[in-house]
C-alpha cells in the first residue's frame, strides 16, 4: 500500500540530528532573535521558480534546531491555484506522502503570465506576498503578506484569544526541526471562515480579535472530546477562506489558503491593540510549509478549487439521504427491532437502523453478542430490513483487544498480529492502549499488510450475519483511556476499564432538560404542565457544557521520556491541546508506525487513513455499490472516503445553534455529507428542543437521531408533537431528494458545496457575512429554523433585496421584508420556514413515501418560480442511486422563458417515473389561452392571488424533450 523506502527516507532527520547538540542546546523559547532567511540562487522556469533560502544569521534555536538550508518552490499550477512550498533542502522533515493524499497532476502548460495570482518576494530578509494580477502588486492589498513592514511592531504581550495568554515576540520566518512559524498580515477585522474542526463561540465567521474576545487560537491536534466550545476536537483542517468587501465599489472577492501539513499546530487569528491590521500566524511543531493559494474570486469557486487539490467528495447512495436512527443503549436485538416497528407504527419514515457498541461481544470490533445480538437473528433482522427497502449500519471503534489467553479466540487480533498490522512502541513491541474492550492495539495504516487484513475482517463480519449497508467509524482521533503504552507490567488478561457506562448504577443521567426547575414544576421534566411552559431561563447563560460521559479525562501527569536524539514526547513548543500533553487520551507521540514514523507527525491523519482503508474495503466487500461511511475524526481528503457527524453534542439550545456553523464549515472542507445528532447526544432533551431539532436536521445533508445510554428516549415517536413535526419535515426532505441528489452529484464532480452560507450566493451583501442562523440548500432553497425556546416567530433575512423574490415553499406566498431585508415569520411549534428563490426550477418527488426507494419509484412534480424577467432555470441529475462507479445517468434541464417551459434530457439512463404535476409561480393569468405539452391540451388551474399556474395529471415522459406552453 505504501512505499516503505519513501517512508524510511523521512526518518533520518529524527535520528541524524546530533544527540549532544540537541541535549546541549538551551532553547530560548523566544523568536525575537531569530534571523530569518535570505533568498539565493533563484531559478525561473516555465512553471514558476525555485530558490535557496539560507539562514540569515546565528541560529536562534527558539523551540528546536534551526535548519540552515531551505528550498522554496513556487508553481503556478492553474490559473486559479498557486503552490508555494518551503521545505528543508535535505528533505528530512516529514511531508504527507502522495500515497496518503494524492496531489493534482503537475501542470503541462505555463500559467506564469496568465494566473489570477502573482507571487512577489523580497530577498533579504526573505518574505513573500500574494496579489491578484488584475489589481497589481503596488495598488492592491495582498491576499497573503509575510513582510515585516506589513505587520505590527513587536513584542506584543498579553493577548487573550479564547481566554489563552499569547505573546508575539516577532514575525521572522522560523524553520526549525520542531517549530515552524510564519505570519501574514490581514485586513483589519476581515472575514475568515474555516480552520476547523471547531465549535466556535463566534460562529461560522471566525473571531480575528477586534472585539472583546481577543481572537482565536485554533489548535490542530485530533482529540476525543465531546464538542468543546473553542477547543481542539476531532478533526484538523488547516484551510481558510477570506472574503473581502470593497466599500468603494460595493463588491467582494474571496480567496483561500491551505497548509498541507499533518503536524500539530496552533493557528492564531489576532488583532493587536492599536493595530490597523489583523494577522494570521502559523505555529507548527514539525513538517514543512506547503501552501496552496486559491484565487476564487467568489466563495463557491474557492471551495471548488480546494476540492481540485485534495479531491472531491465520494458519491453518496440515494438511500443515504434518508432518516437514520440510533442510540447508545439499545441493549439487544429485540429493542432494536422494536424501534423499527414503533417508527412504522407511528408512520415516521425510517431509512437506516443503527447499533452502537451494545452490539458487540465483550465490546470487541467485528463481533455481535451471542446472547443479546445473536448472529443468525441479526442476519434475519437485517434481511427483513432489506426486504422493506431499509438498511443497517453498525459501529466500528478504532481499537482492538490485545489477546493474552491462548483459549481466547478473536481472529481479527490473531491475524493482525501475524501480519504485523499494529502500531508499535519504539522498541518494536506492540503499542498497547486501553479502550472499551480493555487493553487494546491499534491498526497501523502505513503497514503494507493492513489494508488486506482490514478488508478480510469486514468481509468476515458481514458473512457472520452483520450484513451491513454502511459503516460508522467512531473514536478514530485516535482515542485511548490511558497515557502512553500502558501494557508494560500490567495484567493484560484484565479486560475491565476504569469507567462506568452512563445509565449504569453509579453513573445515572439524571439532569433535567435545560432550564427546567424541578423545585417549581416537580419531577416530571415535561415541557409544559397544565398548559404552561416550564422552560425558565436564558439558554445562552445556562449552556456551559459538562464533560461527556463518553469521554474520560486522565488527569495524571504524562510519564514518558524523550527519545535520545529527538524530543518526540514533549516538543519544546507546547501547542494548546485541550488535554494538555499531546499523548493524553490518545496514542503516545512516540508510538511508531511502519517505516519508523512517529505518531507525532501523523497523528492528525489516522482517522482519515482509516476512512480511506474502510472505503477501499467496502468496494471489495460490496462490489458495485457505493460505500457509505460516517466518521468522527477528519482531515483534508476525508470527503473522498466518508461523511461526518458533528460529534458528541449536548441536548441544549446552545448546541442546536452550533449545527449550522458546523455544517457550513464542512462544506468548505469538501466533506458535504455532514449533520449533527438530532435532539442532542449527551444529557436529556425535551419535547420542544427535539421538535425544533428534528425539523432543522431534516434540512441538513446527514440526518440522524442519536443519544446516549441512560438518557431519556428521544426517538421522534416519543412525543406526538415531535412525531408530527418529523413526518412533515421528512416528507419535505424526501420530496426534495432530486434536488439534494443533483447538488451532491455536482459536489462529487466539481466540488461545489451543496449547503451554503447566504453570502456564498450573495457575496456583495455585508449584512450576510456573519449570518449562520439561516442557510441555503443550493442556490434556490432558503431555510430559517427556530433556534431558541419559547418562541412562535423567527426573524429572517431575505437576501438579494429588490432583485430577488422569495416564496414560501409550502404555500407559495410571496414573502416581503418588513424592515430592510428582515422579515418576521410565523414559526409555531412543528413548523420550519422554507422559501424558494425566483428564477428557479426544482424537480421534486410528488409522493414522498416511507423509504427512499419507494419515493424514487413514484411520480415527479416540477416547481418553477419565475422571476420578474419571466425566466426560470434548473436541472436534475438522475441515475440508479447506488452504482460504484456511477454508471449511466441523465441530466434534465428545465428552462422557462416566453411563457414556455422546455424540458431537455441528456444521457443514457432511462427514467421510469412520469412528471405528474407542474407548478409555475409568478406568471400572469393565461386566461382563455391554451396550456399544452407538445400541442396536447393539459388540465390546469390558475390561482390569481398567488400568480400560480397549476398543471395536473400531465404524465410527461422525461426521457424525451418536451415543450409546455401557456400561450
Catalytically annotated residues:
474, 477, 648
Cell of 394: 453498525
Diameter of the chain measured on Cα atoms: 96
From residue 856, alpha-carbon distances to 4, 318, 733, 744, 914 in Å are 47, 9, 13, 16, 11
Cβ atoms 493, 406 nearer than 8 A: no
Residues facing residue 256 across a β-bridge: 241, 294
φ/ψ (deg, to 5) at 86: -110, 120
Burial class, 378, CB count within 10 angstroms (exposed 0-12 / middle 13-18 / buried 19+): buried
CA distance linking residue 674 with residue 642, whole number of Å? 10
User: Residue 928 contacts by C-beta under 8 Å, 6 or more apart in sequence?
Assistant: none
DSSP structure class, residue 65: P
| Nearest-10 crossing angle of helices 659-668, 299-310 | 60
∠ at Cα 323 (319, 326), nearest 5°?
115
Q: What angle do CA 533, 536, 539 make, to 5 degrees?
A: 120
* HSE toward the beta carbon, residue 85, CA cutoff 13 A: 19
Distance CA 50, CA 874 (A): 46
Per the listing, cell 431561563 goes with 537
What phi-psi label fits residue 215: left (phi over 0), alpha (psi between -120 and 50 degrees) or beta? left
> Cis ω on the peptide bond leading into residue 729 (within 30° of 0)?
no
Specify whether the CB–CB gap between 666 and 633 falls below 8 A.
Answer: no
Task: Note if the bond before 3 is cis, omega within 30 degrees.
Answer: no
Taking Cα atoms as reference points, which of 865, 857, 863, 873 lies closest to residue 843?
A: 863
Yes or no: say if 773 and 795 are a contact pair by the CB < 8 Å rule. Answer: no
How far is residue 696's CA from residue 190's CA, in Å, rounded to a whole number?
29
What DSSP letter does each residue of 699-729 carry, written as one string? Answer: TSSSEEE---TTSPP--GGGSHHHHHHHHHH
- Please report where in the chains the cell 445509565 appears, as a residue: 503
Q: CA 181 to CA 131: how far, in whole Å?
A: 21
> Are the C-beta atoms of residues 467 and 426 closer than 8 Å to each other?
no
Side-chain-facing half-sphere of 335: CA atoms under 13 Å: 16
Task: State the DSSP string of 502-530.
Answer: TTSTT----PPSTTB-HHHH-TT--SEET
Q: What is the DSSP letter of 434?
A: E
**Which residues make Cβ contacts (< 8 Å) with residue 28, sequence separation at least 6?**
60, 61, 62
Q: Going by DSSP bridges, is the β-strand pair 775-777/755-756 parallel, antiparallel, or unpaired?
A: antiparallel
Q: Is 5 helix (H, G, I), strand (E, B) or coil?
A: helix
At residue 242, the 3 state secondary structure works out as strand
DSSP codes of every residue in 913-937: S-EEEEEEES----TTS-EEETTEE
Residues 389, 393, 399, CA angle at the centre, nearest 5°? 170
Q: Report the C-alpha gap between 368 and 360 in whole angstroms.
A: 4
Question: What span, in angstroms and rounded, lies between the C-alpha atoms of 264 and 248?
Answer: 40
* Helix or strand run (H / E) with residue 300: helix 299-310
Amino acid at each position: 500500500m505504501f512505499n516503505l523506502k519513501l517512508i524510511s527516507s523521512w526518518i533520518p532527520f529524527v535520528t541524524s540530528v546530533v544527540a549532544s547538540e540537541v541535549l546541549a542546546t538551551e532553547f530560548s523559547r523566544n523568536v525575537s532573535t531569530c534571523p530569518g532567511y535570505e533568498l539565493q540562487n533563484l531559478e525561473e522556469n516555465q512553471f514558476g521558480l525555485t530558490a535557496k533560502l539560507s539562514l540569515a544569521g546565528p541560529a536562534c534555536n527558539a523551540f528546536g534546531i534551526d535548519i540552515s538550508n531551505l528550498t522554496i518552490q513556487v508553481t503556478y499550477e492553474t490559473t486559479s491555484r498557486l503552490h508555494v512550498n518551503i521545505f528543508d533542502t535535505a528533505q528530512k522533515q516529514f511531508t504527507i506522502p502522495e500515497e496518503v493524499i494524492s496531489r493534482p497532476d503537475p501542470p503541462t502548460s505555463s500559467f506564469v503570465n496568465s494566473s489570477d495570482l502573482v507571487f512577489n518576494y523580497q530577498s533579504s530578509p526573505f518574505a513573500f506576498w500574494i496579489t491578484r494580477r488584475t489589481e497589481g502588486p503596488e495598488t492592491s492589498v495582498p491576499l497573503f503578506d509575510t513582510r515585516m513592514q506589513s505587520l505590527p511592531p513587536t513584542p506584543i504581550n498579553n493577548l487573550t484569544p479564547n481566554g489563552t495568554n499569547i505573546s508575539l515576540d516577532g514575525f521572522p520566518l522560523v524553520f526549525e526541526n520542531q517549530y515552524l512559524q510564519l505570519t501574514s498580515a490581514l485586513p483589519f477585522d476581515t472575514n475568515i471562515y474555516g480552520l476547523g474542526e471547531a465549535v466556535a463561540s463566534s460562529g461560522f465567521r471566525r473571531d480575528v480579535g477586534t472585539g472583546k474576545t481577543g481572537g482565536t487560537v485554533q489548535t490542530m491536534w485530533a482529540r476525543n472530546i465531546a464538542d468543546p466550545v473553542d477547543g481542539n476536537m476531532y478533526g484538523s483542517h488547516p484551510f481558510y477562506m477570506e472574503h473581502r468587501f470593497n466599500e468603494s465599489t460595493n463588491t467582494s472577492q474571496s480567496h483561500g489558503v491551505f497548509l498541507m501539513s499533518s503536524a500539530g499546530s496552533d493557528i492564531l487569528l489576532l488583532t493587536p491593540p492599536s493595530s490597523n491590521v489583523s494577522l494570521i500566524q502559523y505555529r507548527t511543531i514539525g513538517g514543512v510549509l506547503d501552501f496552496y493559494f486559491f484565487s476564487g474570486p467568489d466563495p463557491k469557486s474557492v471551495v471548488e478549487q480546494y476540492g481540485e487539490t485534495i479531491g472531491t467528495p465520494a458519491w453518496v447512495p440515494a438511500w443515504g439521504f434518508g432518516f437514520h436512527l440510533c442510540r447508545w443503549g439499545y441493549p439487544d436485538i429485540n429493542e432494536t427491532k422494536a424501534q423499527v416497528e414503533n417508527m412504522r407504527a407511528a408512520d415516521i419514515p425510517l431509512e437506516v437502523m443503527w447499533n452502537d457498541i451494545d452490539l458487540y461481544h465483550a465490546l470487541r470490533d467485528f463481533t455481535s453478542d451471542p446472547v443479546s445480538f445473536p448472529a443468525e437473528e441479526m442476519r434475519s433482522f437485517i434481511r427483513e430490513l432489506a426486504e422493506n427497502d431499509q438498511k443497517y449500519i453498525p459501529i466500528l471503534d478504532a481499537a482492538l483487544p490485545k489477546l493474552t489467553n491462548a483459549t481466547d479466540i478473536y481472529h481479527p487480533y490473531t491475524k493482525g498480529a501475524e501480519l504485523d498490522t499494529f502500531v508499535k512502541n519504539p522498541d518494536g513491541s506492540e503499542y498497547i492502549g486501553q479502550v472499551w474492550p480493555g487493553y487494546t492495539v491499534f491498526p497501523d495504516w502505513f503497514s503494507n499488510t493492513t489494508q488486506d487484513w482490514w478488508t478480510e475482517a469486514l468481509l468476515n463480519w458481514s458473512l457472520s450475519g452483520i450484513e451491513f449497508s454502511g459503516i460508522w467509524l467512531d473514536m478514530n482521533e485516535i482515542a485511548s483511556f490511558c497515557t502512553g503504552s500502558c501494557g508494560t507490567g500490567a495484567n493484560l488478561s484484565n479486560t475491565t476499564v476504569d469507567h462506568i457506562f452512563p445509565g449504569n448504577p453509579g453513573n445515572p443521567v439524571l439532569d433535567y432538560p435545560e432550564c427546567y426547575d424541578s423545585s417549581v414544576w416537580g419531577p416530571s421534566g415535561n415541557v409544559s404542565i397544565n398548559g404552561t411552559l416550564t422552560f425558565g431561563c436564558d439558554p445562552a447563560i445556562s449552556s456551559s457544557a459538562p464533560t461527556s460521559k463518553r469521554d474520560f479525562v486522565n488527569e495524571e501527569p504524562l510519564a514518558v521520556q524523550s527519545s535520545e536524539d529527538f524530543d518526540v514526547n514533549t516538543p519544546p513548543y507546547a501547542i494548546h491541546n485541550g488535554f494538555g500533553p499531546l499523548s493524553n487520551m490518545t496514542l503516545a507521540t512516540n508510538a511508531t508506525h511502519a517505516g519508523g514514523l512517529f505518531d507525532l507527525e501523523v497523528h492528525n491523519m489516522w482517522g482519515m487513513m482509516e476512512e480511506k482503508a474502510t472505503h477501499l474495503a467496502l468496494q471489495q466487500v460490496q462490489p458495485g455499490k457505493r460505500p457509505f461511511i460516517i466518521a468522527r475524526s477528519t482531515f483534508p481528503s476525508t470527503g473522498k472516503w466518508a461523511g461526518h457527524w458533528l460529534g458528541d453534542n449536548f441536548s441544549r439550545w446552545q448546541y442546536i445553534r452550533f449545527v449550522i456553523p458546523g455544517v457550513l464549515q464542512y462544506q468548505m472542507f469538501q466533506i458535504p455529507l455532514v449533520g449533527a445528532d438530532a435532539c442532542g447526544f449527551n444529557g436529556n432533551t425535551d419535547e420542544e428542543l427535539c421538535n425544533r431539532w428534528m425539523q432543522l436536521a431534516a434540512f441538513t445533508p446527514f440526518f440522524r437521531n442519536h443519544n446516549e445510554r441512560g438518557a431519556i428516549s428521544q426517538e421522534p415517536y416519543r412525543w406526538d408533537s415531535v412525531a408530527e413535526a418529523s413526518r412533515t419535515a421528512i416528507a419535505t426532505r424526501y420530496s426534495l431528494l432530486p434536488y439534494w441528489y443533483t447538488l451532491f452529484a455536482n459536489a462529487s464532480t466539481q466540488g461545489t458545496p451543496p449547503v451554503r452560507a447566504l453570502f456564498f450566493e450573495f457575496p456583495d451583501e455585508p449584512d450576510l457575512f456573519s449570518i449562520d442562523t439561516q442557510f441555503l440548500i443550493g442556490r434556490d432553497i432558503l431555510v430559517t429554523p427556530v433556534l431558541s425556546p419559547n418562541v412562535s416567530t423567527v426573524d429572517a433575512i431575505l437576501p438579494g433585496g429588490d432583485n430577488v423574490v422569495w416564496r414560501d415553499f409550502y404555500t407559495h406566498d410571496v414573502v416581503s421584508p418588513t424592515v430592510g431585508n428582515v422579515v418576521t415569520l410565523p414559526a409555531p411549534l412543528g413548523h420550519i420556514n422554507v422559501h424558494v428563490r425566483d428564477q428557479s426550477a426544482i424537480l421534486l418527488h410528488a409522493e414522498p413515501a416511507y423509504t427512499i426507494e419507494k419515493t424514487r419509484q413514484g411520480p415527479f412534480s416540477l416547481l418553477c418560480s419565475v422571476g420578474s424577467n419571466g425566466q426560470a432555470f434548473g436541472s436534475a441529475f438522475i441515475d440508479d442511486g447506488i452504482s460504484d462507479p456511477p454508471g449511466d445517468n441523465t441530466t434534465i434541464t428545465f428552462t422557462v422563458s416566453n411563457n414556455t417551459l422546455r424540458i431537455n434530457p441528456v444521457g443514457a439512463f432511462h427514467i421510469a417515473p412520469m412528471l405528474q404535476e407542474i407548478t409555475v409561480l409568478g406568471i400572469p393569468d393565461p386566461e382563455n389561452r391554451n396550456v399544452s405539452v407538445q400541442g396536447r391540451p393539459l388540465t390546469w388551474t390558475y390561482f390569481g392571488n398567488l400568480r400560480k399556474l397549476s398543471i395536473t395529471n400531465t404524465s410527461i415522459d422525461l426521457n424525451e424533450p418536451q415543450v409546455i406552453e401557456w400561450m
